[in-house]
Amino acid sequence: MELMEQESLIKNGQSLCPACGTPAADGIVERYGKYSLIACKACELYHWYPRTMPDATWYEQMYGGRDTKLLPLEPGHKYFLGDPAVPKQGELLDIGCGTGNFLAAARDAGYEITGIELSGNAAAFAKEKTRLPRVFPLSISQFTSQYSSMKFDFVSFFEVLEHQADPKEFMEDVRSCLRSRGYIALSVPNRDRWLSGPDVFDYPPNHFLRWNAVSLKKFLNSEGFEVISLKEQPAGLAHTALMLNMLLRTGLTSRFSDQPCASFRDVMQMAPEEASAALLAKPAMRQRVVQVLGRIKSAVCYPAALVLYPYVRMRGLKGTYLYCLARGKH
């Protein structure tokens, strides 16, 4: 779709909010490539337009480096496992389980676990390395179609909702897996987090939706869920150091590199062959020097972050994650 045609649809209200169905009415707050970021004035969700989710091959290409190792638990996982409002037993389905880090932790905590993962490589790793028998290389829609009789006390989807082109359709699939009055647990990047520069992962076709506490609560309520716990991660020391590093941009890459270095945000926009070449390309000598200098700069930011951190805490600045536990109303 041509950009002018796309913006005309938005201005004429023909682009609808995927969460509440409100016409866009020219709420464009950012543009990137062929995409426009729209702020919904009714439910406060920010959503990119147009939205077409990539397939499993794309995710395997972009996240292939994560398919062969067990990553540490994310904050959302820890919040769930430590949430006093969460019942400590039951059958749990984790959507987007990756290589099984949360599934293994939930199993050890006493839950009966099942996982689904769009990446076949990650699902295979989870089954083999963590000895988890019920891990399926399926999307949620494929799972509900093939295993319609399976119902769960909990459905979790950590760092998944922001990827959805159609969040209402996604939640319909979630509800079909859930027992009456069952629980959902999730985390998303918090749109209200402290940022001193663009988060290169938070762009389409990787992320289509930008949630904050208000928009997430409104959406879940409209989908038939009562929010029980809602936690905004505070900005920690590592986040403070990262924001200082982003703030103190030096331009080393552009000044000293003999070839442009594409960020993940740029690589996501490339055709598959071009993206593959960019991801597999070995950096030239000058690029390696720049990378070493960049790591040194990152390390130097930690002592500065220690000095700044009391101010960060006093201001109540927010970190990356927004965690939520909710229960079905029926």
**Which domains does the chain show, CATH number per domain?**
3-49 (no CATH), 56-234+319-328 (3.40.50.150), 238-315 (no CATH)
Q: What share of the chain is helix, strand, coil (3-state, %, to 5)?
A: 40, 20, 35
Confidence of residue 89 (pLDDT cuts 50, 70, 90): very high
185-213 average pLDDT score = 96
Q: What is the spatial distance between Cα 22 and Cα 103, in angstroms, rounded to a whole number?
A: 37
Least confident stretch, 171-175, 264-268, 287-291: 287-291
pLDDT digits (tens, 9 = 90+) for 90-99: 999 999 999 9
The per-residue pLDDT for range 30-70, each reduced to its tens digit, is 999 999 999 999 999 999 999 999 988 888 888 877 777 88
Q: β-strands 318-328, 225-234: how paired?
A: antiparallel
* pTM, 2 dp: 0.90
Q: Give the whole-angstrom CA distance, residue 211 versus residue 39.
A: 11
Residue 15 φ/ψ region, left for φ over 0, alpha for ψ in the -120 to 50 degree band, beta for the rest? beta
pLDDT in tens, 126-141: 988 888 889 999 999 9
Looking only at the bridges linking them, the beta strands covering 225-234 and 209-210 are unpaired
Residue 213 CA to its chain's centroid (Å): 15
